[in-house]
Amino acid sequence: MRSLLWFSVITLFLSPLVFGFGLRVADYPNDDGTRLVISWEKLPPPELEAADPDSYILERSTGSDGDFAPAAVISKLDPTLTTTDQDLNKDEKYYYRLSCTSEGIVWVSEPAGPYTPVENWYNTGRTNVLIGILLTGAMVGWFISQGKKGRSQYLRPIAGLLALDEAIGRATEMGKPILYSSGRGSMNRPASIASMNILGSVAEKVASYGTPLIFPNNDPVVTAVAQEVAREGYTKAGHADKYNSDNIYFVTDSQFGYAAAVDGIMMRERPATNLFFGTFEAESLILAETGNSIGAIQIAGTDSSIQMAFFIVACDYVLIGEELFAASGYLSGDPQVVGTLKGSDYLKIVIAILLVIGALLGLLNQTWFVNLFVTA
Amino acid sequence: MLIQFFIPSKLSSSVYNEITNWAQLIYAFALIVGVFGLVKYHLGRVSRKSDGWIYNLVTVVSLFLMAFLGFAFGRKDGGAFMWIFNYFQAPMQASVFSLLAFFVASAAYRGFQARNTEAVLLLLSAVFIMFGIASVGNSIPPFAEIANWILMNPSMTARRGIFIGVGLGTIAVSLRVILGVERTYLGKE
């Protein structure tokens, strides 16, 4: 009987003490079924208030009495009282418990579960984006249909694009080439697509004047696209024979290697006009200042607000913000393309109204309106 | 890509990954075409003995040398490939990057000439921001506070206006591409 009592005492100290503890598990919203959110009550639990350990271990198992393995270490100071368990399987059932070893006592909470992560097929946190895209699409679509019907639509003059003819004419008169650069963007960037669209119009114009167009490239895919676009431009102008694919070539994908190469071309070829349209990074000022030093007329447009500042200082004309994306419609005059520009212009008015409403409601401490635009 | 943004399921992300893998493959093949074009261009200039043809020759020789060293001996640390990269290419790139300091100075000199009221405002803003961010000015309370106010209010306001314009322009371009309204970038009318 005495030995049985000792055995019970020893067993009690070697086995963990299991306590009820408020461990809550929920599915992670809008995910691919690989995450669960685990939250807990304020630590320490009543049994450990005296010991007050610094950290606890969150353990996970696929069975309530199975082998629990550590999933995360939880600090008692964690103010969120929440953690996310990742890389789970949506076909498994999971149990969770907290454990802690303090002053020789192994404390574990009662297992919570089973819980299974749910795979979501629609991200409800992005409904506002979907509504925005549908509204934008509808507005742009309506203006495109207006364009198809042949209704004329006014576009405000853009100084940088009005100067394009003058810049090309200047290069022609001086008998010097035109240098074109689309920067460092790959073809999946809207700024690169916009740049290719501008290149089409530029190629058409230079083909008519017989001015050489040099386009050193940073991306091999952009090179291939640019060659096709320029060839089409020359063909449209009726001067396909003047197109020289050797003038549009890949240089390097290294950022400063590209900057050095384009600078070198500027210093050797002395172009009368430099056109910088696309995605630019730190090389923007290196290119624009070198162009400035050789006295070239320079027109630039980029989607980066930081690089735009450098271009404004060093170039003669700069397309600001959406003007880069508007350029192709402006140059081609295609009523359908112009329709998309009108659509985005009207959207700008809508956004301005929403901003004013949001600012006014914000001043009245009403945040619900701003929260409508928060995405997950 | 657009649909994937709204569908978080595993199928959607695996389709997305597959497409991006294909994009990588296309890029790799395009790189071969690009290098072929590069060699053709430079060898053409060498054969015609164009001005500065020796630099074209250096480019071609460097290209083949690096490719040979990389394929033959690998890119391990201490190898010839990495030695050339660390002691030739990296310093040359750093040199070009460092030119930016001088270009910023010359651009600032032109940009900050106080010709009219707007230019004077720009000059004053630049002075406050330069002193406010530099370590010496940061210790003078008014400079740091004014610089921070300029960056967080007028500057941020203007940048957000540009962001909205760029965002709308991006949507317009994307819609033109999706709807097939504009196909110039495909080499078509």
CA A4, CA A16: separation in Å to the nearest integer?
A: 19
CB contact under 8 A, B181 and A336: yes
Task: Give how many domains chain A has, as a whole number.
Answer: 2
Q: Is A282 contained in some domain?
A: yes
Same domain for A12 and A95? yes
Of A85, A115, A145, the residue that ends a domain is A115
User: Which ipTM value was assigned to this complex?
Assistant: 0.83
CA B173, CA A246: separation in Å to the nearest integer?
A: 29
* A-contacting residues in B 100-119 (Cβ below 8 Å): 100, 103-104, 106-108, 110-111
Q: Is A189 contained in some domain?
A: yes
Q: Is A136 contained in some domain?
A: no
Percentage of chain B with pLDDT > 90? Answer: 27
Same domain for A77 and A202? no
Tens-place pLDDT, residues B73-95: 888 888 899 999 999 989 999 99
Same domain for A189 and A292? yes
* Number of Cβ atoms within 10 Å of the Cβ of B177: 16
Q: Residue A17: its pLDDT value, please?
A: 55
Distances (CA, A) of B166 to A3, A222, A304, A311, B162: 81, 21, 9, 16, 6
Same domain for A178 and A313? yes
DSSP A126: G
Q: Is A366 contained in some domain?
A: no
Same domain for A242 and A290? yes
Q: Residue B189: its pLDDT value, please?
A: 56
Same domain for A205 and A320? yes
Long-range contacts of A74-77 (CB under 8 A, 24+ apart): A74/A40, A74/A43, A74/A98, A76/A43, A76/A44, A76/A52
From the list A249, A289, A321, which residue is nearest B162 (CB)? A321
- Which CATH number characterizes residue A298's domain? 3.40.50.1220
Same domain for A162 and A243? yes
Find out whether A180 and A214 touch, Cβ atoms under 8 Å.
Answer: yes
Q: Residue A1: its pLDDT value, please?
A: 43
Radius of gyration in angstroms for the set of CA atoms belonging to chain B, rounded to a whole number: 25
Q: Residue B187: its pLDDT value, please?
A: 61
Same domain for A217 and A323? yes
DSSP A321: T
CB contact under 8 A, A223 and B37: yes
CB contact under 8 A, B169 and A236: no
Q: Residue B34: its pLDDT value, please?
A: 84
- What sign does the dihedral A131-A132-A133-A134 (CA atoms) show? positive
Same domain for A105 and A190? no
Same domain for A192 and A253? yes
Look up tokens 């740049």; give the residue.
A195
Q: List phi, psi (to 5°) of A185.
A: -80, 145
Same domain for A188 and A316? yes
Helix (H) or strand (E) holding A182: strand A178-183
Beta bridge pairs of residue A55: A75
User: Which residue stretches of chain B have pLDDT < 70?
Assistant: 185-189
CA A34, CA A91: separation in Å to the nearest integer?
A: 10
Q: Is A104 contained in some domain?
A: yes
Same domain for A161 and A304? yes
Q: Residue A4: its pLDDT value, please?
A: 40
Quote the minimal CA–CA distance from A119 to chain B in Å: 6
Tens-place pLDDT, residues A2-16: 544 443 444 444 445
CB contact under 8 A, A340 and B172: yes
Find out whether A182 and A196 touch, Cβ atoms under 8 Å.
Answer: yes
User: Which residue stretches of chain A have pLDDT < 50?
Assistant: 1, 3-15
* Number of Cβ atoms within 10 Å of the Cβ of A26: 12
Structural domain of residue A270, as residue ranges?
153-333
The answer for B52, left when phi > 0, alpha when psi is -120 to 50, beta otherwise, is left
